[in-house]
Amino acid sequence: MKLQKIFLSIAALVLVVGAVVSSGQFGLNWPRLPQLSIPQTVTIPGGEKVRVVTEESIVIDVVDNVSPAVVTVGITQTRRIGDMLEFNPFDPFSPFQRRPGKSQKIEQDIGSGFIVEGGLVVTNKHVVSVSDATYRVITKDDKTYEVKKIYRDPSNDLAILKIESNGLPTVEMGDSDKIKVGQMAIAIGTALGEFRHTVTTGVISGVGRGIEAGSPFEGSAERLDNVIQTDAAINPGNSGGPLLNSSGQVVGVNTAVSSEGQNIGFALPINVVKEALTNFNATGQFNRPYLGVRYQMIPKQTAILNDIPEGAYLAEVVEGSPADKAGLEVEDIITKFDGQKLSDENDLAKAISKKKVGDTVSLTVWRDEKEIEINVTLGNQDGQ
């Protein structure tokens, strides 16, 4: 028992002495460990100073610089609610009658966009797909602008909104042909049509993808090729917003998210937008080469099994279209486009997109078990 008291006394004495010494009463101080810090600049051979940045500071700088040019797209439409089906037993010919409900004006944020130049906002076509609705654009500082005109691209999921305003901040567009898998990606948009200017980060996960894109609000969908895949979270409502690189340049237009996986989003390459803007500024519309057919590609395996050539099977020829005027018919199979063989990798739409309005192309067509040559002058599909 005495031994235990001695140990306790010694321990108490050590604590007291340690406290007095550490307080500096006798001029003694324990050496302090140096604080670690990341240098703001470093000097490289040659004497040049280079700024050192972290990933966090990169994202903050990009968001601060680009967010003022990112907008929310809202819709205003009238819907009838409360319709009721009534039963009238005294009317044997029409016992069920519908009593109309009340009309209600509904306003909702449905997508995103970004300002490219004076009064022009880029977004997705499926965001503004309702023709009898009115749309508005809301900037980061909560100013609202009525959309005066909508130009829809018939070949891509793109639209340009015209608003009456000058002097608004604009984005800088990069070069989507130079992006690399693994580089940083930053997305900004109105997530779920509710949370404006939501920022998510990730990397470029893949390029040259093919997807079915559509709107969760309107139920529309279309096939898009050569899109960018990213793991930066893209949610419904992000559609039309910018996908940015670490320099704050727009490299894509956020378009779709996979419903079958996690962290799989897609964006249209910005070079497609730049080309569309060039056409738009020159003509006031989207000039796209137009053939005027609805088709289905016949893959190689199907062609072999059915003893028919590989190519584009025409299910419909639009009346009055360039295809109709040139003599193309339903059930024709276009096997070559200007001498290039058509396949799943080089389908008819991709071949047409490489041409210009007014170009005359030679089509090799399989009809009645023999090949014929037909020349077609491509028209213009007005995107307004």
Q: What is the mean pLDDT of the chain?
A: 81
Query: pLDDT band at residue 357, thresholds of 50, 70 and 90?
Result: confident
The reply to whether 289-380 shares the fold of 172-283 is no
Q: Could you tell me the fold of the domain covering 289-380?
A: Pdz3 Domain (2.30.42)
Q: Is the pLDDT at 92 greater than 80, yes or no?
A: no
- Give pLDDT, residue 25: 52
What is residue 377's predicted lDDT score, i.e. its pLDDT? 94
Residue 217: count other Cβ atoms within 10 Å of its Cβ.
Answer: 18
CA dihedral over 365, 381, 353, 356, signed as positive or negative:
positive
User: What's the pLDDT score for residue 95?
Assistant: 66
Structure tokens at 295: 């088709």
Does the pLDDT value for residue 37 go beyond 50? no
Q: Quote the percentage of the chain above a pLDDT of 90.
A: 41
pTM: 0.63
Residue from 263, 267, 291 nearest 356 by CA = 291
Question: Could you give the 3-state DSSP secondary structure of residue 125?
Answer: helix
Q: What is the pLDDT of residues 254-284, one digit of tens each?
A: 987 766 667 788 899 999 889 888 877 777 7
45 pLDDT more than 70: no
Rounded-to-integer distance, Cα 138 and Cα 272, Å:
25
How far apart are the C-alpha atoms of 176 and 244, rounded to whole Å? 10
Q: What is the number of other CB atoms lying within 10 angstroms of the CB of residue 3? A: 7
Q: Domain map of the chain by residue range?
A: 172-283, 289-380
d(CA 297, CA 12): 88
Percent of the chain past pLDDT 70, that is, above it, reads 73
Query: What's 248's DSSP letter?
Result: S
From 15-19, 123-127, 249-253, the region with the lowest mean pLDDT:
15-19
CA distance 340 to 355: 13
Is-contact 299 292, C-beta < 8 A? no
Among candidate residues 30, 9, 31, the one with its CA nearest the CA of residue 19: 30
Under CATH, domain 172-283 is a member of which superfamily?
Answer: Trypsin-like serine proteases (2.40.10.10)
> Residues with catalytic annotation?
126, 157, 239
DSSP at 262: S
Task: Specify whether the CB–CB gap between 130 and 185 falls below 8 A.
Answer: no
Alpha-carbon distances, residue 249 vs 35, 67, 184, 216 (angstroms): 36, 12, 12, 28
What pLDDT does residue 89 have?
65
* pLDDT attached to residue 147: 94
Each residue of 133-152: pLDDT tens digit? 899 999 999 999 999 999 88
